[in-house]
Amino acid sequence: MADTLNINEVREACSSDELSHVFTFLESQDMTEDEGFLIRMGDESTKLRAKLDKRNDTIDEAWSFGPDNEVAKAGEHCLVESQVRDRRRLDLIAQLLLLTREGIEEKKAHIEKIKAIQTQKRVRRCPDPEYARKMIVDIDVVRVRGDSVGGIVTCIV
């Protein structure tokens, strides 16, 4: 999702007025974007590693011309500077990948939290809304007969 949608736009996009669906949809969209980012940055990291390895070989080759070759020495110096910069870039990509993975786990936890809140809001705390309705009907039928659906718990210590 290129733009962050407001709640009404998300309600329309996910065809639901229920806020839990809206926020779950938003978090899921963010996770999908983050997973795509991980793939792209993983590819960039792989390319940069290959470039660093190749440049190491080139630096070794430049060094083989000896300390008296001024052009080789200057070229080696330039390559080493580029190598240092690209190693820093690789470290930053690694940090971005870590942060993004943490963000994905955080979003998964957010979705679970929203689901838990929805479950707690339902009568009988049943995670499935259809079964929650059936449970309510069954409990009412038994209650009208003057009975209960309760149980007996025996605790032996």
Give residue-wise pLDDT tens across range 80-138: 999 999 999 999 999 999 999 999 999 999 999 998 887 777 666 677 778 877 887 88
Average confidence score pLDDT of the chain = 88
Q: How confident is the model at residue 1 (pLDDT cuts 50, 70, 90)?
A: very low
Q: How confident is the model at residue 144 (pLDDT cuts 50, 70, 90)?
A: confident
**Best CA proximity match to 107, nearest among 41, 36, 25, 39:** 25
Q: What percent of the chain has pLDDT over 90?
A: 56
Structure tokens at 103: 């963000």
